[in-house]
Structure formats: structure tokens, C-alpha cells
Structure 1
Amino acid sequence: MIKAKPICLPKQNRAMMHALLLFIFFSIMVGHETVALAMGQNTTQNIESGEFKVGVVLDSDSLVSKMGLTAMSMALSDFYSSTNDTAHKRKLVLYNRDSRRDIADAAFQASDLMNNVGVEAIIGPLTSLQAIFLANLGNKAQVPIISFTATSPSVSTSQNPYFIRTTQSDLSQVNVIAELVKTFGWREVVPIYENTEYGKGVMPDLIDAFQAIDTRVPYRSLISPSATDGEILGALYKLMGMRTRVFVVHMTPALGVRIFQKAKIIGMMSEGYSWIITDGLANMLGSFNSSVIDSMQGVLGVRPYVPRSIELDEFRARWRKQFMQDNPSIENPDLNIFCLRAYDTIWAIASVLDKLDTMNSSRVLETNKSTAMGPSGVSQTGPELLQLISETKFHGLSGEFNLVDRELESNTYQLLNVIGNGDREVGIWTTSNGIARDWSSLNTTKADKKSSPRDNLRVIVWPGESVVVPRGWVIPEMGKKLKIGVPVKQGFTEFVKVTRNNSLSNSSYVITGYCIDVFKAVIEMLPYPVSYELVPFAKADGKTAGSYDDLIYQVYTQNYDAVVGDITISGNRSTYVDFTLPYTPSGFSMIVPLKEDTSNSIWILLKPLNWNLWVAIVGFFILTWSATWALEREEKNPAFQGEWWNQLETMFWFFFSTPAFAEGDKTVRNGMAKVVVIVWAFSLLILSSSYTASLTSMLTVHRLEPTVTDVHELIKTRQNVGYLEGTFVYTMLKRMGFNEANLKPYISTEDFKEAFTASRSKEDRIVAAFGEAPFNRLLLAKYCHKFALAGPMYKTGGFGFAFPRGSPLVPDISRAISHLREDDRITRIEQSWFGNQKSCSDPNPEVFETSLNFDSFMVLFIITGIPLILAFVVYLAKILLKGTSFLAAIKKMLQRFRDIWQSLKEHLWQCLINFWQCIKDLWHRLENLSQNSTNQIKSSGTEKEKDNDKGPLIEPMLISSDDGPSDSYRKLIIRG
């Protein structure tokens, strides 16, 4: 790996810089006045000749510089040929200087242009690091430094008031790259950038953009521009051994070409890899030869969007011809964005010259008496020129020229794909609409918000000539397997069981269990192979090496690649690892012993039928009695005549004896009444049979009930409760308010059962236990009808597999778990380890005490109700046939019911008064008897005989009325 180095100059350059600074300092100290006088003379000559001098500091050996110089020369010619030369007060003149790819030379040339030539602005330099030094000189001399190539945000326009960037900052493409990564769903990205100010300047903002879309940057590859081929191969081989397959390359063309050529050689430009290049390389694709393009097949790039126009096509042809004349050694040059920026920069400067104030221009440099290093004067034209250029707006060859905070604004980027002999556009990106196919589809994309950004892109050919979007990561094929940690435990081995095989020399382990089988099934469902090895989290002696939290922390420290086992998903653990979807039920609850319910309720006779069914029976009884009574009264049936109490007695006896005796048809004379009675008898028979069966079930079934149901009562009374050792339930119980001394661990199913028995001391015995749903299900299946769940279910995350934060395996494994739970494979795995848990019936007594409700007999009551309705209709019809009106018939029927009810109320009230008086008399008599003396008790035999002669205290007497025997009733008479 190539380590990052602090930003510094090479030793040779540092020495040159020191010499230059000493030379400048000496010149200023000795000949300051002479230099200033010479500059004043140059200025006067410039004003008289009408020249406006602008310096150009570029690297003459750089291809970009050569292209830019040709474009600037053509811009001057085009500007003055398009207007009348005599109309311009000043004419722009360029003074070129070569920085020789060196910071010190760039600073020297800039100082020479300011002090000796008297330039009023400087265009350049080429690199961002050179721009930092020149911007400092421009700030002191108030001379604008205008760069069309320095894109690094480390050269800040806010910190350098006289620095103008007539191109986009690298920050403007950060959101474009992040949007692409988000569109293709890549969770990990590795940036590859050069160890220069240009390479490192944008990295903090780019990584922040990745974090904002939940994409990790597990590694950064920093490569020096002077790296050897061996160092480049070493860096690429290291990336090849990692799982991440998405790379963002941000470097200059000279180094970028070498990177892709070496990547092609070692097979990193094959299927499965994803490469994104920034505009530093994307802008120069047209200038690369065929061998370089061949090594970059499938690369995705971003660069500023340049709208097509007739003027642009015409300029491209003229520029190509002129460039080949100026540089005959360069073959097949292609116009790029830097040429267009250089052209528009010259046009922007030339267009504002006539707006400069002539009075301020009479003296361009004011003599500076101080002995500071750098320029020997301060420009009087600089501030006004800076303002005029900043406010300039026009439509140039590269698009709209609009500076915001002295920086070119760009809202549109082109997305391109390297394929064949060059590149082709696959989409565009705008700040307002995001990714779109082209300009014509922008309105459609904005309207159709449901379409995904990936659908808005044209077909992309990825490395290896694949049209399938790369997954973005792979399991490295460098001989490394995923190291999966497995917990070592003593009990509940149905979930995870680690057995040491001492028969082998290497003391290998055999790892089985429900969790292991689920993990293996999930891995088999993945669309790609994953090699792994299960490693017990154990010491040398085979015992566990720590708690479950310690095991989770091993993933965080990268000792394990994942953890598989009965690991509960919790918020605290999620801060260190990423969990998959749970593959077991979630939550934990209380499990308690069952006891036999010996307390039969005194109301158990009413439980077989629900309250609404009882109300329905009583209601239909009253309706049936009323219908029969009304019909039989019309028939003058003597059994339904006489006083109300006699009729009530007859009706109760008749209707409750109907199912058991056969006198019903003899007592009832009316035909419709017989139908009502028969239907009622049928309904009563069904209801009584159902009642008998339900009551028999309640009285004979062996009913069980939990010994404890209230968790808060356990906390209040400080009862001992159990928990499975090593699980997070211990922490949850402490949060619920349990005293730590009352929490007793258990490690296995046998230990769980023993914790409730008298074999343990009173201090260690528990009355309830708390466990997670999978463990409780296993306990209930093993100890059927001995334990039951009680109390509320407390929510948890369930069991899941733990992976490092941001692991790309998590989404795929979660989807596989979801599919596994939808089919019956996971059910078969459960049955193979836990058996058929449904064979144990639910011991909850409420299951056997379910009362019959009205809905179960709704049809029966409908059948019963139809004859009743017909009976009342027949009754009303008979009354109407007698000449009585309908309303009169209704009134007559209601009056009869009202008379009966009134008579019933009066007699019932009188009976209650008599009954209460009887009770009072009896109570007084008993009090008198208890106050008798001992002698009276001894003579009780004699008195008893006398009382026998008198008869019983209460005896019934038959009182006959004048109406006949049918109106006879019994009256209670209290004797004595």
C-alpha cells in the first residue's frame, strides 16, 4: 500500500523555491525604487498604446496547456474580428510564461509578470497547488488570478478574494457521483486518488456524500503521481483482494491512464467490477489513443455537460486545424472542456475592458515603499476588473458563463460510458431533476416521479462487456473464507451445539444445531457462492471465551467476519454490527408452573351458555307463552282461564314439562298454538342437549391454571425469578425493576425444571422464569402440561445473524431469510430439531370453558320465531274477523297484557310484604326461644309435646273462592 504523505515539495523544488524567494527579497531590498519607476514607465506606455496586458502562466509541456493556448489565441482573434477594432479603447495582449510543472517557477513567472511586465491579470496556473501560491500573490497585489483548470476546492474563492475560477469546482460533481452510487444500490465504494492537492481536495466532501446515502468507504487508495509500475500493481492487488468492487477514480490523466492499463493486465477490468471516473479523466477521453480506450472499456464517467450548437461545431473544426499547425507532433487532437473554458475566459476579459474607469487606469501600480516579498506595488485596476468579470454573463461556447462567488456555476453533468472506440452518453444529471435520459426527457422524468433513476439511463455496458449491473462486491477469491464465529454453550444445544472431536490431531470441532442449519440453508439460496468456516468462540480448553456481547464485539474488531447462533437482535448491539432479518419469533415472556384448578365456581351452572343466549331463551319463552296464552284464551280453554297466578302456574308447568311429557297436545286446543308448542319443544330439546354436553365438559375435563400471572407482584414481593444465562434477558429484568439478588440463572432445560423444585434451597428456588420465545417454545414442547406462558409478551428483535457494519451480505441474506420463512423449509428444520410442537395441547383452561353463544343457535331461533309471528298474526286476524278494527284489536291485546302485568305487580308486592312479615315474626319467636332458662330447656320435652298438639308453626291452608276450584290458592298461616 502507498501511504499518504504530507503535502510538501520535493527537495529539488524546495531548494529552488528558497533561492527564488531570496532573490526576490534581495531585489526588493536593493532596487525597489528602480523597479517601481520602471513599472510606472511601462504603465504609461501601455496607456498610450492602448494595450491591456494579461499574463498567462501554464505548463508548456502539458497537453491541456497547449490546447488552451490555441483556444485563447483564437478567442482574441474572434473577439476583435467580430467588432470594430477602432471602437475599443484598450486591446487585450497576452504574455505567456512557462511554469515548467514546478511551483517555484510558477510563482517566479507570476512575480515577473506583475513587477516587470505590469500585467493587470494572470490566467492560470494549470494545477491546484500552483494556484494556491499564485492566489496568494494576487491577493497582495490586488491582481486577479483567473484559472480555467484548477478545480480542487482547496483553492477557495472565499479565502482568496482575487482568485477567479472560470470552471467548475470538483465539489459540483460530488452529488452526481453519489447519485450514481445510490441508483445502482452499491453499499461500499473505494476511492482511488492521487497524492496531490487536486486528488485530496475533494475527498472529505465525497466521503460525506457517500455517508449521507448510507454507503461505506472501507478503504482509500492513495497513489503518488511518481509511483512506479510495481507500486501501482501492489495497490491494485490489494484492492483485488478486498470484497469491494466499486471504485471511484479521481486523478489527472497521466496517472489515470497508467492505473487502467495495469488494471486491465491483472484482470480488474472484467465482469463484476465497476469503475467511475471524475471529470479530470472524463474530459480527456477524446485525447486518449486506442490502447488506452481499450483498457477503459465499461468505465462510467461524469463531466460537465456542453450543449451542442452550430457555433461549437464550427469552432471545433477551426480549432483542430489551428492546433495541428501549432503542434504538428500531436495526432488526432480532440476538443475538450478546458479549451472551451479558456476561450470563454478570454472573451469575458476582453468584453469588460472598455468598462474600466480611465482615471484609475492612469496609474496602474502605486509604488509600495514597504519591504515585503512578492509584488512591489498594488494594482488600482484590479478591484474594478475583478468586479466587472464577476458580474459578466453571456452564452459562450461551453454554455452559460455565469460566475457565482467568482466560480463558474454548473447545474448539468453528462453521464458517459466508455465503449468501443470512445464514449457515448447514457444520461444527464441536473440539480433540479436528478438523472434523466437526455434533455428531451427532462419534463417526462419530472412528471413521472414513480420511475426509478436507473430506468432513466440508457443501457450501460460494464467491464467484461456485461449489461448486468455489477453487485458491487464479491467474496474475495484469494484463498480466504469468511470466518464465522459460533457461541459455545452448555444448555439448549438444540440451537447451537459445539462438539470437540479429540480423535483428530488438530482437535477439530463439529458444529450443529437449528441456527446452523438455517444459516446453511440461507447461504445455499444466495445467487453466488460464499465460502466460510465456522469457528467456535472458545478458549484452548473448549470452554466459552466470553459472553454473547463479547462475541458480537469480535465482529466489530474484525476478528470474525460474522456471527451465527442464537443471537438476539438488540439496539445496543446494532451500534457495533448490522443484523439480518430475524429468522425466529421475537419477544420474551414469563413461563410458570401449572397447578390443578380445584375451585369450581358456584356459577358454573350458568357458564355453558353465554349471557346473550340466556337472554334470548328467556325472551323467546315469554313470546311463546304470550302467543299460546293469547290463542288459547280465544278458544276459551279452561286451563288458561282464572286468576293470573293460576295461569302462570299452568304456563310454567306446561312449557317446562312439554319436552318430557306427552300431555302437551291434550292441553292445547288451538291448531296454531300446537305448532308454536311443537317448535318450542324442538328448540328446547336442542338447547338442553347442548347445555348438558357443555356442562359435562366443564365438570369432567382436567383443568389447569398458572401459579403466577402478575409480573409486578413478583417485583413487589421480591420473589426469585430465573433467566437463561448469557442472554440479554438479565439486563431487561433489571430494567423492569427486579432486584439483582432475586435473579437466578439456568443453563439448560433440566436446570430450568429443577429450579422450581424443592431440591433447591429456598434462596435459589424460583417461582417463575423469563425466556425468549424460541427457548420458551422448546420448554413447553418438552414439559407439556407442566408449564405455561403467563403475563405480557415483551417485544425484542428475535434471532438474527450479525455482520460488520455496512456489509453488503446483509441485504442478500435478509432476502434469503424472507424467502425461507415463506416456504416450508424452515418448518422442516424446526421439526427436525424441536419436534412437532403442536402435539402438546394448550393447557389454558379458558379453552375448555368457552360458552355457547347466540350466534351458534341463530338459525334455531329464526325457526322458532316464524311460528310466533304467524301466531300473533292469526290472533289479530281472529279479532278483526269479529268486526273489531285493527287498532282496536291491538289495543285490546295490549290491554290484556297490561291488566295481567298490573295484577301481577299488586299481588307480587303483597306477597313480598306478607313474606317479610312472616320472616320478622319467625325471627322474634326464635329470639324468645333462645332466652329461655335452663329449666325451660330441661322441660323442653313437655313443651315439645304441647307444641305437637298445636301443630306446626307454619301451615298452609286452602282458601276457596267463589269462582270455583280452579281459583283456589294456598295461604301461609303462622300459628302461635
Structure 2
Amino acid sequence: MEKARAAILFLLLLVDFAVAAQNATAGEADGFHVGVILDLGSPVGKVARTSVLLAVQDFYAVHRNYSTKLVLHITDSMGSDVQAASAAIELLEKYKVQAIIGPQKSSEAVFISSVGNLTQVPIVSFTATSPSLTSDSMPYFVRSTLDDSAQVNSIASLVQAYGWREVVAVYDDTDYGRGILPYLIDALQEIDVRVGYRSVIPSTATNEAMVQELNGLMAMQTRVFIVHMSSTMTSLLFTKAKEVGMMNKGFVWMTTSGVANIIDSLNPSVIEAMNGVLGVRYHVPRSQELDNLSIRWNRMYQHDNPEESPFNKLSIFGLWGYDTVWALAQAAEKVGISGARNKQPWSIKNSTCLESMVISTKGPELLKAIVQNKFRGLSGDFDLTGRQLKVSVFQIINVVGRGCREIGFWTMNSGLSRQLKQEYFKKTGPDSMPDLNPIIWPGESTEIPMGWEIPTVGKKLRVGVCSSENPEFINTYKNPATNVTTASGLVIDIFEEAVKRLHHPFSYEYLNFDTADTKTSGSYNDFVYQVYRGEYDIAVADITIRYNRSLHVDFTVPYTESGVGMIVPFKEKVNTDMWLFLKPLSIEMWFGSIIFFIYTGVAVWLLEYLNGNEHVHGPLSLKQLAITIFSICEQKEELEHFLARTVLRVWMVVLLVLASSYTASFAAMLTVQQLSPTVTDVHELQKNGEYVGFHQGSYIDGLLVEIGFDTSKIRGYATPDDFYSALSNGSIAAVVLEVPYIKLFLTKYNKGYTMVGPIYKSAGFAFALPKNSPLRPEMSTAILNITGGDTINQFEKKWIGQNSHENDDMPDGSGTINFESCGGLFLISGIVTTGSLLVAMLMSRYNKHQQNAGNKRDDQNESGPGQEKEKMEEQGDQNSNGEGTQLMEGQTTL
């Protein structure tokens, strides 16, 4: 290594000598001295050195008329912060540099930027990506690259796209590694993703230390790892991860841009070990100029590094270094070199080695020219207006074989998309996959990893079960010979069905929680606490979601009805309301029936009157009209007109339906309404000092004490038979239980008892898991799928029965018949009646019209000569007198 570094330093001296000789023709005064600090032993440093030297040649080959020439002084930091600081001081003292390109590492940039602030020398770095380097504290520091926080949203979008809920952050213990962590955690928290563990790898970690750390990661449930490390540590990490079996199916590895940007320059054996890894890197648009540069760059790199294997390729850091030199050369031309050496001494008290350092008079002007310089570089849009490059487009890559393939892109406006110009972004989640190209995951798998799994290979999920006093919910049995626990019941059916509906079903075994010696109310609390202690991976039983339990574990969504109610007996209640006979029909129904009755009667009378029925041609009065209506409706009078009979038949149908409905409703009020619960308010029991029963071992006793019951008035029972016996012999006035238990009780004893309430809100039964368990979201989704369909009804029918608390909803006697429920009958009757009246009136008008026409013809015949005319006149007079007499008599009668 020492020989290699000596050779590199010798080559650097030759290059510096060549550059100095080249500028000697133009005169030393024409040189614009710029320092370059790189780690020439690292892949990035080697690539950057070739890029900046090639950039100087290309720039002045294009701009031959420029009077200002950059003179580069390249020094080696050797990866040491102290060495980098010493090189910066030497460049300022010996070469009087006007600007410094670099340093390469973020930790080196801290001190060098402070020196730049004092000497007013701009520090331009295209490799220091730590977000802690800000222009506020370092006004002369310019970052011609992106800081690491720019990529965290693209990483979070990938995590969200595939539905992972927890990740592990793996980073090295340096400023570079730690700098991204706060921004990454914030971006993940915005999408409700948790960083379950932080794996900090020392920069001096050995192979044994790396294997030990990886074994610890393998023992965890989380299988999604985000790696933010240097290229050297990343190579060691993935090489050892493959050895310990962490590059197999089920694992997810994602690297940040620090490694993804130079993935092509890594050793082929490292790339092979990284197969299946996802990476986020800066997107470089393809162009002919870039292809031409790559050819010349490769030729120059091989010339400068003849003994090195051809692993290194032109990366984005090399392009940023190339564009940085162009930006600095253009700024130097604007500032010029006249008076560049007129610097004022930097006065420092008690200083020895720094006394010769002076303040640059061109520094502020040069800094302004650098940050205002915008152009289209080979790396893309090169804009340093904000003292660093702006976020543009990130490319998502997948390491496959000995290289990488493009998966998609991420932009701030469009999010994830397969094509760069795609204008929309598909929302991601379990049911909608992201619009990206297919990914080859570790282990050459095409199946999207679940993101978590049982830590030890072959180990089953430990499912704790606890027998209930109601075996219909859950009943366990442990075989003494085989020590195997089996379970059955409604809860077990729901749990096993939920596991089947997971995207990645897991194997499990039941572990029985023996509560034989814990008959206290805390037994279920103890059972749930075993999950917190790590004895179980999940607790399955009729466990109620409670606040004190949620402090230690997380619950899935409930799979039963929620609430607490009371079981109380029925009592006889005699209804003494004297106006009860009016309640079967609503007020609107009574008024509507009366109005339609009168309307129908008037219509029938009018139809008969128009038809000439002699029974209705008496003196017109309200009394006579009423008598006629009732006599016609009672069919005491024979109806002669067809339309009248039709109207009356329809009305009889309406009356028949109303009468039968009235009879049924009135009978229900007289019979069913007599059954009512003995008590409807739990506070009434507390005030009267009644005894109340509860399920032994549940939290109901504490709830009753909170309500105000004395502990001596509270009695615990174990089984539904015990509840029934206590209610039957009058030991207790009511039983306070959760709704699922009440349903089970009323299935067996639904005669004489009913449910009142719910009187208190509760969350229902659920499964308990460890805090932040990645299994909880998937189990909750599966439970919602079960309870939202017919499956839960089939399970309840199987274990609880068909006649589940059939007296749940007591009739309240409110079965009143309203007008809307019989609106169809009245509508038909009204249409028939009104239509008949219209037809009868039209027919009467038509008959009168025919009669008038006959009278006109008779008048025309009377106009003949002679005696016939006189006779006809006489006859007409006689007829007229007769008709007039009859009309007079009729009017008198009317």
C-alpha cells in the first residue's frame, strides 16, 4: 500500500509539473490557482481526479480565447480528516489558491469550510453529501451535488409502495452515516412506517464483528433493511450477508445513492453478492456528448492507472466533478486574475503556522459568480443558486447478475412511475401494486417479500391460547403424552381463517395458558402480559380490548360486537290505557280514512243521481245526503249504475285491509306489550341495593364498582348455568356481561329473559400482539374481511346457534299503522272513484246534447202550412202546459 501511494504521489507530481509547464508559456501571472483535495486511494477519488483533469483540458479546448486559466493543485487526503486539513492549509499558504475543490468526505469539509470562511476562499465539494453541512453556518461552502436528505422521500415511496410497515436502518458510525438518519425517520413516519432498529457499524469493523451484527439482525422479525454506508463498508456488509444467508428469499435490501451511484465500479464479486438489492441513484440523461466523454475518460483513466483492474467507470461523481470545474472556470473568467494576489494579512494572535495565510480579495466576487452560474452540464441541469444542486429525478435500480437494471423513476411531482414522462402516480398499497418494472428479489425470487417473518428458520409462531368459561368461544386441551395443545371454538375458527387469508400464511403452534391457579379478575391481564414478556407471539382468546392492556400490547381490530349489557327477567305489565283502541292507527291514518269514506259515499250518491236512481231523487239536504250515503254503503239500497258498484267494491277492499290490519295491531298491543323487562337502568339497581352478577375473571367487577355498586352486592359466576340458577332463585336481579356472552346465554335461556342495553361501551374481543408487530395490520385486514362477509355468520351459527337471543329487541308497542303504509290502497280507490265520476259526468253531458238535438228537429217540423200547423201548435201548447206543470211539480218537490 505504501508503494502504491508513493507511486500515486509521484504521478501527481508529474501531472503538476506538466500543468505548470503548460501555463508557463502564458506566464505565471495568468494562472488562476485552484486546490483539489481528494482521497486518491478510494474509487471515488480516482474517478474524480481523472474527471477534473479532463474537464480543464476540454474547457480550454472549447474556450481558447479565455485569458484566465485554471491551475489545479491536486493533493491526497488519504481518507484522513487531519491530512485533509493539513493539505488545505498548505494549498492556501504555498499556492495561494483562490478556491478549493473538495474535500471528498463530509467530516473533512467541516474544518476546511471553517478555514474557507475566514480566508474568504470558496470551498466547492461534489462528494460531501451530509445534510449537516449547511450554507447558513458555512457561507463559503458550496455543494455541487445533492445532500443525502434529498433521496429519503424516494426511499419512503418504495417502502410504501410494497406495503412494508417496519424497516431496519443500517449505517456506518460516521458523519456521513448519521447525517441522513433524522430525515429518513421523518419521511418514514409520514407514511406510518417504523424504524424498528438502528444497526450502527463502526468504520473499523472486522469480518467477525460484521458477521456478529448480521446474526443479530437475522434474529429479528423485520426483513427490510435500508443501507447507508460507504462503498468499502457496503462491500463488506453484502459479502458477509450472503455468507450468513441473508441474501435469500424473504429479505429486502435497499441502498442509498452513495453506493447506488457507483454500483458499476464495485468489484464483480460484490455485485454478485448484492443480487436482488434495490438502489436509489441520481438520474443522468443520456446524450451523445456523454458517450464521447466516457470514451475519452476511460482512455485517460487507463493511462493514469495502468496497473489497476478496469473496475472503475465514469460515475455521477465524476460528472459532477467535471461540471464543477467548468462552473469554476467560467466564474474565474468573470472575476479575472488582476489583483488576485493583493491579499490582506490574516491577523491571528499567538499563531505560528497560520500567520502567512491571507484573506482573498476576490473571494466574495468569485463565490457570487459560482452560485449564479447556470448551464446544461453532462450531469444534467447544473444550478447552484441555492448553494447546492436541486432535486431532480432519482432512478430506481435493481442489482441483477453482474450489473443493474432500471426499475422506474421517482420525481417530486409525480412520485414513482415506470416511465420518466408518466404524468400520474398510482397510489400504492396491498391491493394496488406500484407502476414499476418487475423486480428480482434476493434469492432470485419474483414474489414480493412480506417484510417480516419468524426469526429462526423452521420455528413456528407461538400462539398463546386460554380456555374460556364459555367453551363455545374457546376451549383448549393439552395432550399429556405428546405435550401438544389443541383448541376449538368460535375464536379459533376466526383466527385460523384469518391466517389463511394472509398474503403470506405462517405456521404456528398453540401454547396453553393454564389459569387453573389464577381465578382472580387479573387472569386475562396475566395472559395478555405474557405477550409483552415475549412468551407468546400472539394471544388468542375472548380477550377484551382494554386501556390498561393496550399499554403493553397492540390489538387487532375487534371480531365481535362491542358493548356491555344486562340480562334481566321479563315481568307482566297490564295496559290500562282507555284510549288504547285509537293507537293501532296513526292520526293521519284516522283522518285520511274518514275523508276517503266521505268522498267515496258522495261519489257513489252522485253517480246514482246522475243515473236517475229514484231512491236518491228526494229533497237535497245534508241529512238526506248522509242517510243516502250510509244506506248505499251498507247496500240497503240497490245500486243501479255500474260505475257506482265498481267504486263501492274497491272501497270495500280498502276497508277489509284496514280492518284486518287494525285487528292485528290492536291484538299485538293487548298481548305482546304486556311483556317488559323488570329493570331498564343499571343505576336503578345500584340505588335499590340489588345484587348483580358478572362473569368471573373479567373486568366487569371493576366497572360495577366505578358505577357505584358496593362490593358486597357484586357476585361472580363462571358459567351460563350459574347465571341462570342465580336469576331463577332470585339471588341476583340482573347479570352484567359483554354482548357476545349475552348472545350465548340467550341462545340457551331465551324464554323469560332479555337483554337491556348496551349500558356501557367497550371495544369488543380481539387478538393481542407485541407492540408495533408487523403482523397486526395484515391480521386486522383479514379480520375485517371475515366480519364483513357471511363467514362470521356461519361461525356464529356453528358455535352460538340460530336462535341467538331472540328477545333482544323488545316490542315497544309502537306498531302503529301510518298513512304511508296504506297509501297504495287509497291511491287506487281515489283513482277509481275520481275516474268513475268523470266518466259519469261525460256520459250525462253527452245525453243532454243528444236530447237538445232532437228538440231542434221537432221545431223545424212545426213550421208547415195549414191546419196541420195549427194542430201541431195546439198539441205543442198542450204539451208545453203539461211539461210545465210537471216541471213546476218537480221543482216544488225538490
The TM-score with structure 2 as length reference comes to 0.81
Write the deviation string for residues 347-388 of structure 1: whole angstroms up to 9, x where unpaired: 222222244376763432515351147632342333443333
CA distance in 2, matches of 1:631, 1:119: 120
Write the deviation string for residues 505-553 of structure 1: whole angstroms up to 9, x where unpaired: 97x7664432123212222333434233334555683546936556545
For the 8 Å contact 2:746–2:804, the answer to whether it is kept is: no
What amino acid maps onto 2:185 in structure 1? I
- Counterparts in 2 of 1:432-831, with a 5 A limit? 432-439=413-420, 441-442=421-422, 444-445=423-424, 455-487=434-466, 491-498=469-476, 511-537=487-513, 541=517, 543=519, 546=522, 548=524, 551-552=527-528, 554-556=530-532, 558-569=534-545, 577-609=553-585, 611-627=587-603, 629-630=605-606, 635-637=613-615, 648=626, 652=630, 655=633, 664=636, 688=659, 691-692=662-663, 695=666, 699=670, 703-709=674-680, 724=695, 744=714, 746-748=716-718, 749-753=720-724, 756=727, 759-760=730-731, 765-766=732-733, 768-791=734-757, 796-821=762-787, 824-831=790-797
Write the deviation string for residues 447-479 of structure 1: whole angstroms up to 9, x where unpaired: x89999954422322223333332222233435
Change (3 A) 1:386 1:720: farther
Query: Which stretch shifts more, 62-71 or 574-583?
Result: 574-583
CA distance in 1, matches of 2:550, 2:352: 58
Partner residue, 2:41: 61
Q: Unaligned 5+ residue runs, structure 2?
A: 1-25, 853-894
Change (3 A) 1:353 1:595: same
Deviation at 1:620, TM superposition (A): 4.2
For the 8 Å contact 2:754–2:807, the answer to whether it is kept is: no
Write the deviation string for residues 740-777 of structure 1: whole angstroms up to 9, x where unpaired: 769836444345446656653xxxx44x5544331221
Change (3 A) 1:545 1:160: farther
CA distance in 1, matches of 2:641, 2:522: 90
Which of 355, 373, 393 is 1:412 aligned to?
393
For the 8 Å contact 2:272–2:401, the answer to whether it is kept is: yes
Partner residue, 1:965: none
Deviation at 1:568, TM superposition (A): 3.3
Partner residue, 1:168: 146
Partner residue, 1:220: 198
Query: Which stretch shifts more, 318-327 or 337-346?
Result: 337-346
For the 8 Å contact 1:190–1:247, the answer to whether it is kept is: yes
What amino acid maps onto 1:294 in structure 2? E
For the 8 Å contact 2:647–2:832, the answer to whether it is kept is: no
For the 8 Å contact 1:137–1:375, the answer to whether it is kept is: no
Deviation at 1:648, TM superposition (A): 5.0
Does the alignment pair 1:240 with 2:206?
no
Deviation at 1:734, TM superposition (A): 7.8
For the 8 Å contact 2:43–2:265, the answer to whether it is kept is: no
CA distance in 2, matches of 1:690, 1:438: 69
Deviation at 1:316, TM superposition (A): 0.9
Sequence identity (%): 41
What amino acid maps onto 1:594 in structure 2? F
CA distance in 2, matches of 1:579, 1:194: 35
Does the alignment pair 1:52 with 2:32?
yes
Write the deviation string for residues 393-415 of structure 1: whole angstroms up to 9, x where unpaired: 23222222222443233322222
CA distance in 2, matches of 1:484, 1:526: 16
Partner residue, 1:293: 271
CA distance in 2, matches of 1:720, 1:178: 58
What amino acid maps onto 1:458 in structure 2? N
For the 8 Å contact 2:739–2:758, the answer to whether it is kept is: no
Which of 180, 185, 190 is 1:202 aligned to?
180
Change (3 A) 1:135 1:671: closer
Change (3 A) 1:231 1:856: same
Query: Which stretch shifts more, 384-393 or 254-263?
Result: 384-393
For the 8 Å contact 2:519–2:697, the answer to whether it is kept is: no
What amino acid maps onto 1:707 in structure 2? T
Query: Which stretch shifts more, 453-462 or 519-528?
Result: 453-462
Which of 40, 44, 53 is 1:73 aligned to?
53
Change (3 A) 1:600 1:48: same
Change (3 A) 1:211 1:577: farther
Change (3 A) 1:157 1:486: farther
What amino acid maps onto 1:82 in structure 2? V
Which of 155, 165, 169 is 1:177 aligned to?
155
CA distance in 2, matches of 1:242, 1:648: 93
The 3-state SS of whatever aligns with 1:352 is helix
CA distance in 2, matches of 1:289, 1:334: 11
- Counterparts in 2 of 1:384-423, with a 5 A limit? 384-423=365-404
CA distance in 2, matches of 1:517, 1:463: 35
CA distance in 2, matches of 1:256, 1:244: 20
Deviation at 1:480, TM superposition (A): 3.5
Change (3 A) 1:644 1:568: same
Deviation at 1:120, TM superposition (A): 3.3
Deviation at 1:323, TM superposition (A): 0.8
For the 8 Å contact 2:36–2:100, the answer to whether it is kept is: yes
CA distance in 1, matches of 2:616, 2:156: 100
CA distance in 2, matches of 1:82, 1:711: 93
Write the deviation string for residues 483-517 of structure 1: whole angstroms up to 9, x where unpaired: 3344565x43432345677x5697x7664432123
Partner residue, 1:351: 330
The TM-score with structure 1 as length reference comes to 0.74
Deviation at 1:211, TM superposition (A): 1.7
The 3-state SS of whatever aligns with 1:346 is helix
Which of 188, 191, 207 is 2:166 aligned to?
188
For the 8 Å contact 1:569–1:798, the answer to whether it is kept is: yes
Change (3 A) 1:247 1:742: same
- Counterparts in 2 of 1:890-905, with a 5 A limit? none
Q: Unaligned 5+ residue runs, structure 1?
A: 1-45, 659-663, 887-976
Write the deviation string for residues 752-803 of structure 1: whole angstroms up to 9, x where unpaired: 446656653xxxx44x554433122122222213222335676544322232
CA RMSD of aligned residues (A): 4.1
Deviation at 1:78, TM superposition (A): 2.0
Partner residue, 2:4: none
Which of 767, 782, 799 is 1:833 aligned to?
799
Which of 119, 124, 130 is 1:146 aligned to?
124
For the 8 Å contact 1:629–1:640, the answer to whether it is kept is: no
What amino acid maps onto 2:342 in structure 1? R
Write the deviation string for residues 921-972 of structure 1: whole angstroms up to 9, x where unpaired: xxxxxxxxxxxxxxxxxxxxxxxxxxxxxxxxxxxxxxxxxxxxxxxxxxxx
Partner residue, 1:963: none
For the 8 Å contact 2:473–2:491, the answer to whether it is kept is: yes
CA distance in 1, matches of 2:370, 2:665: 98
Change (3 A) 1:641 1:257: same
What amino acid maps onto 2:152 in structure 1? V
CA distance in 1, matches of 2:391, 2:500: 48
The 3-state SS of whatever aligns with 2:92 is helix
Change (3 A) 1:324 1:592: same
Change (3 A) 1:77 1:863: closer
Partner residue, 2:100: 122
Write the deviation string for residues 393-442 of structure 1: whole angstroms up to 9, x where unpaired: 23222222222443233322222122233122222222222223344x24
Write the deviation string for residues 288-308 of structure 1: whole angstroms up to 9, x where unpaired: 243222222222111112222
Deviation at 1:130, TM superposition (A): 2.5
Which of 299, 305, 310 is 1:327 aligned to?
305
Deviation at 1:321, TM superposition (A): 0.5
